[in-house]
Structure 1
Amino acid sequence: MERLPIVVCPKCHSSSEIVHVLTAQSNQNVIYTCPSCQYVIRNIETNKG
């Protein structure tokens, strides 16, 4: 079984699998939302391709 990467919240330091905290936007940016403390980081730039 493949394990997913773990993301650590920069505010509360809780850990969650990447699929539960990142949301892709149509402009190729990403939104991070912490399920524990609801901390949000918007418009995280990514490298396309």
Structure 2
Amino acid sequence: YTRPAEYRGWTVPEVLLSGHHAEIEKWKQEQRLERTRRRRPDLLGDEG
């Protein structure tokens, strides 16, 4: 990740700055699930 660590007052999560591709993918998946949990909890069934 070659962008600034902070942009317009928003800080980039440390995992994205780490360069560890497996950890980044894990973080992205967690973010996807959290977004779905907030917007469409009915889609997750027992996971949500």
Asked if these proteins are the same fold (TM beyond 0.5), I'd say no
Task: Give TM-score scaled by structure 2 length.
Answer: 0.20
| Structure with higher strand content | 1
Task: Give TM-score scaled by structure 1 length.
Answer: 0.19
Compare relative contact order (CA 8 Å, sep 6+) and give the higher one, 1 or 2: 1
